[in-house]
Structure 1
Amino acid sequence: MKGKKLIAVAAGAVMAFTLAACSGSGAGDDSSADATTSAAPAESNGGDAAMEKGTIGVAMPTQTSERWIADGDAVKKGLEAEGYTVDLQFAGDDIPTQSQQIDSMITNGSQLLIVAAIDGTALSGQLEAAAAAGIPVIAYDRLIRDTPNVDYYVTFDNYKVGVQQATSLLVGLGILNEDGSEGDAEGPFNIELFAGSLDDNNAFFFFNGAIDTLQPYIDSGVLVVPSGQTEIEQVATLRWAQETAQKRMEDLLTANYASETLNGVLSPYDGISRGILTALSNAGYGPTIADGMPVVTGQDAEIASVKLINDDVQFATIFKDTRKLAAQAVVGALSFLDGAEPEANDTTTYDNGVKVVPSYLLDSDIVYKDNITSLLVDSGYWTADEVASGVAE
């Protein structure tokens, strides 16, 4: 596991980005063991002042994705810079583990919880206990559902992320230009669709934004889905797992592409994309887009996938600057701890089944090969050497 320094963000915090490869080996994969055990409560750099201010619990879903490690570290450092002790826990994608971790945070006197849920429907009991103890709860990038006891939601505009994923697929096929104007390609193009995990509320926003964008082209025959699998329940990927996506892509190729050529794949996440690309490579596609590799989308700008984009293997990803997300979570937490309501810029969209959760939405960007430098390198998110190597330093 390797660390990397990033530019300072809110409250003067310096983040440490760590690369942890997704499950299973695949294209662009830098393998490392999945950390399935929870982290020990974090020690603060704030000394006695931190102890006086108290402890904040931060529950992250997994260490198999570099972005969750980065998010956890960023939130921790931002809160420590404000003088709080942080109990940061990773749950190894195990729902009972995350439930137990949150129970422990409540029992041990956390003043506030920041939770990126593995299953957004599985924490009602924990959040009821938090509410009974007067502990505010911030849902971090994944909406917690079916409970009135979630107070604030920080995330990106996830419907827009899905629109951007579909748009990047259309750009890669030549149907659209990068500026959104009509391209020269007329099709028909064979595509397949992938979605995220059904227990993650964001998967639905991503897929809905994408399918709403692609559906007119499917209806007109410009895009064809030979498998016929166009419903989210058919195309979902449990736990966003790379190896699950690779197996499904292999099965799709075997069943539908003996005499057809696949032109593009909608993928909602870079780990899934690498599984797809491995299956495609093993089936004889590529090695690059110029050599016939289908257009494959992605999300999270993971360094292994950024290298693949730079090498003309993966076509695009969506950059969600999680430094800004972590900073907004810290701002929201400080508002609650000061007895105020944090700013929300969306109070209508995110209905969790019981209430509309006040939310703060951030913007995202499409990363193509030609804007890697301007979006990722110039901003300090990755260095040019990391892009070239595909490994975080």
Structure 2
Amino acid sequence: MKKKTAYILLGVFLTTSILGGCGSKNKATEAASESAQTEKEGAGEAEELTVTPTPEEEKDTEKKADSSEDAEASTQSNEAEEESAPVEEPREKIAVLLPNEEKWSRDADKFKSELEADGYEPVIEYAENDVSRQVSQIQDLTAEEVSAFVITPVDPYGLGSVLETVKEADIPVFSYDDLIMNTSAVKYYVTFGGRQVGQIIGKQIVDAQELDKVREAKESRTIEFFMGSLDDTQALFLYNGLMEVLQEYLDDGTLVCRSGKISFDDTGILRWSKTTAKSRAAEILEEFYPDGAAPDIICTGFDDAAGAAQEALLEAGVVPGTDIWPFITGNGCKEDAVKRIAMGTQAFSVFMDSRELAAQCEEMVNVYLHGEDDPEVNDYEQYDNGVKIIGTYLCDPQMIDRDNYEILIDNGYYTEKEVEPDPTETPTPEPVTPTEVALTPTEKPVTPTPEAVTPTETPEPTEAPEEISPTPTEKAKK
């Protein structure tokens, strides 16, 4: 019986062992199969094994997380700043075209500062008095699509065709100082009124020469005219303003022009040429004022003509500071003219502050481009460029003479050194000694006649030279 029971227990043990072995084998096969299938297909994610990190590893993980968060926050902040920062747009270009640098540098400097202050980019170019070069400049800047043109024309009649292209491009044109003719492209004009300047010159002549008193006394004064360039509209306006004042005195004979050159065509100096003005002055003096005479008044429309007249007078032997020296007018207040005014050889000139003119023009451009109203004008009647009347702003000129020329130093237009008279420029009569007396071929020595000399008379040796002492004019003819 015991033996039988032992066999039963042994059988149960063997059966249990076999069944337990089979279960373990099935689980391992399934795990291997799943792993192989995952590698083959490349699909799914491997199950993470639960590993307990060390304290050091936990700190590293925390640092990496913090660093990542900081970088993300910095990136977001930079993006926010970039979105909020204003984007600087290209500045509008304003083209300022001037005839030459020598005369127009003050205007250019003022335009540059004013335009930059209003947020524009100034493009300033000089044509060096070449109209074809100015035409090329306009063409190039039109292609660059500038926002506006400010132009002082080399030739007022030479820009009509090229400005038609500018008008088609819808770019406004502002005529500066001198009016551009024969085109509808010009929007506005800014200048010192030529007519006003002419009236100032005329009134100063009337007052300084007391022409009303001369008329009442039935006397007269001689006058000669040297006006501005024949192709310049402002020169014509100046002439018209001058004659509005002086014509009545010419009509009644209070003023007499011996040369007869009174009309603008007869008195205008093409291209403001000082050489032409000097040669014309010399011819008039020689033909109509012989023997060292001179006109009472020399009326010029620009300072270079006044300087040219002075040179011709000096060469003719007329001495400054004497009663014969003429009353010479000018216009423009150039450095040399202010020196002559300070010395007393030129009576006066008319000052036109180019800084004021440039500032006014820049304001007109700015208002036209971005203002709520139209630019201000104070003349819409007299400036017709042959196609239309141009709305104009006239700045005020000022008369400058020996009493107030220092205004130009006080306001910074000139330094004292720039207009300080040069002592060598002031000719003064030199005393004549007997040894300096020279006789022309037509003159004969003056000797005492028999009737004039008696045996008891001995001529003083100094009397003969005193009797033939030359006048300043005779001295100049040596």
Q: TM-score, normalised by structure 1?
A: 0.79
1:151 maps to 2:187: yes
Which structure ranks higher in relative contact order (CA pairs < 8 Å, sequence separation ≥ 6)? 1
Q: Which amino acid aligns with 2:232?
A: D
Deviations, residues 295-325 of structure 1 (Å, cap 9, x unaligned): 1111111121111101001111001122111
1:267 maps to 300
1:60 maps to 2:92: no
Distance of 2:123 and 2:234 partners within structure 1: 25
Deviations, residues 56-85 of structure 1 (Å, cap 9, x unaligned): 1111123453xx221222222221222322
Distance of 2:139 and 2:335 partners within structure 1: 34
| More displaced 10-residue stretch of structure 1: 79-88 or 244-253 | 79-88
1:365 maps to 398
1:350 maps to 2:388: no
Q: CA RMSD in A?
A: 2.3
Deviations, residues 249-293 of structure 1 (Å, cap 9, x unaligned): 1121122211553111111111221112111111112234x4532
Distance of 2:133 and 2:279 partners within structure 1: 27
Equivalent in 216, 219, 224 of residue 248 of structure 2: 216
2:287 maps to 255
Pairwise mapping of residues 150-169 of structure 1 onto structure 2 (< 5 A)? 150-169=186-205
Equivalent in 114, 118, 131 of residue 95 of structure 1: 131
Structure number with the higher strand fraction is: 1
Deviations, residues 70-129 of structure 1 (Å, cap 9, x unaligned): 122222222122232222122222222222222222223221100111221211112111
2:110 maps to 74
Whether the 8 Å CA contact 1:64–1:92 is kept in 2: the answer is no
Deviations, residues 224-266 of structure 1 (Å, cap 9, x unaligned): 1011011111111111121121111112112221155311111
Distance of 2:317 and 2:216 partners within structure 1: 27
SS at structure 1 position matched to 2:135: helix
Whether the 8 Å CA contact 2:285–2:294 is kept in 1: the answer is no
User: How far 1:171 sits from its partner (Å)?
Assistant: 3.7
Number of aligned residue pairs: give it: 334
1:128 maps to 2:128: no
Distance of 2:217 and 2:116 partners within structure 1: 52
SS at structure 1 position matched to 2:97: strand
User: How far 1:183 sits from its partner (Å)?
Assistant: 10
Deviations, residues 330-357 of structure 1 (Å, cap 9, x unaligned): 1011112216521111122211111111
SS at structure 2 position matched to 1:317: strand
Pairwise mapping of residues 296-311 of structure 1 onto structure 2 (< 5 A)? 296-311=328-343
Distance of 1:183 and 1:81 partners within structure 2: 55
User: How far 1:366 sits from its partner (Å)?
Assistant: 1.0
Equivalent in 286, 295, 315 of residue 282 of structure 1: 315
Whether the 8 Å CA contact 1:174–1:185 is kept in 2: the answer is no
- Structure 1 or 2, whichever has the larger Rg, is 2
Equivalent in 322, 329, 334 of residue 366 of structure 2: 334
Q: 1:258 to 1:344 in 2, by over 3 A?
A: same
Whether the 8 Å CA contact 1:58–1:113 is kept in 2: the answer is yes
1:197 maps to 229
SS at structure 2 position matched to 1:134: coil
Q: Which amino acid aligns with 2:165?
A: A
1:21 maps to none
Q: Which amino acid aligns with 2:340?
A: L
Structure number with the higher helix fraction is: 2
1:246 maps to 278
1:324 maps to 2:362: no
Distance of 2:323 and 2:91 partners within structure 1: 58
Q: Which amino acid aligns with 1:145?
A: M
Distance of 1:236 and 1:80 partners within structure 2: 39
Distance of 1:106 and 1:354 partners within structure 2: 22
Q: Which amino acid aligns with 1:55?
A: K
SS at structure 2 position matched to 1:274: helix
SS at structure 2 position matched to 1:209: helix
Whether the 8 Å CA contact 2:214–2:254 is kept in 1: the answer is no
Q: 1:72 to 1:241 in 2, by over 3 A?
A: farther
1:105 maps to 141
SS at structure 2 position matched to 1:388: coil
Q: 1:137 to 1:224 in 2, by over 3 A?
A: same
Distance of 1:237 and 1:64 partners within structure 2: 20
Distance of 1:243 and 1:170 partners within structure 2: 29
Distance of 1:257 and 1:389 partners within structure 2: 29
1:30 maps to none
| More displaced 10-residue stretch of structure 1: 249-258 or 306-315 | 249-258
Whether the 8 Å CA contact 2:100–2:129 is kept in 1: the answer is yes
Equivalent in 86, 94, 106 of residue 122 of structure 2: 86
Distance of 1:385 and 1:359 partners within structure 2: 36
| More displaced 10-residue stretch of structure 1: 159-168 or 257-266 | 257-266
Distance of 1:94 and 1:270 partners within structure 2: 23
1:142 maps to 2:178: yes
User: How far 1:138 sits from its partner (Å)?
Assistant: 0.4
1:292 maps to 2:330: no
Q: 1:292 to 1:62 in 2, by over 3 A?
A: farther
